[in-house]
Amino acid sequence: MRKIIADHMKTSLETSAHVHVVNEVNMTAIANYINEKNSSFEEQEGFSLTFTPFILDAVIKALKDYPEMNASINNTAITFHKNINIGVAVALNEGLMVPVMFNCEEKNFLGLCRALNDIALRSRSKQISPDELSGSTFSVSNFGVFDVTIGTPIINQPNVGILGVGAVKKRPVIIEDHNGDSIAIQSMMNLSLGFDHRLIDGAGGAQFINAVKKHIELTNLENLY
């Protein structure tokens, strides 16, 4: 597995013109929602509610806004994919596996939660089929689970984009509203987007990560599941 990962990462660096942009996201509303709802969610579903499905939901919306990020490059041919198939990096004792959640555009929030829990469990119990390890159109790497705040992930070929998710941490933040500026303790997270400059320009990468940020911060938390 280590050799396969090494070859795949080296090939990606040799193939894609990697560029990374970073933005911070205010996760306070979602953090409060998880604290309030996790017990009832876990009782209903049998697993915990985490930040990841909220992020995936925002990524799916942003990919619909910017379909060029849901594309792939093969030599000089560009393929724009109709379906959104998200590869989710799962850390194992032996290395890293990136199983794919297919047709994410068809899933509601609860469907995302269940699909994410399913592939994580089956990856760690070595029940993922080979067909589930290919066919992604975009990838997400959540190194925040290891308490890392920021990173620059390598693109998962033949995707043109990968989102890195940092840890959610509380810190003082300046809040702007109609009453002026104030300082408050907020739950903040860094997102890093790696994209292939052969297809995506800097402006396109910035617009995409800002769209993900917007969709996360404006998540409608009423009747979510």
- Longest distance between any two alpha carbons in the chain, whole Å: 57
3-state helix, strand, coil in the chain (%, to 5): 40, 30, 30
Active site residue 201: yes
The active-site residue, picked from 178, 181, 201, 215, is: 201
Strands (E) across 89-208 are located at 90-92, 95-97, 100-101, 138-142, 161-165, 169-177, 180-196
DSSP string, 51-118: SHHHHHHHHHHHHHH-GGGGEEEETTEEEE-SS--EEE-EEETTEEE--EE--GGG--HHHHHHHHHH
The active-site residue, picked from 8, 20, 81, 197, is: 197
Please identify every residue annotated as catalytic: 197, 201
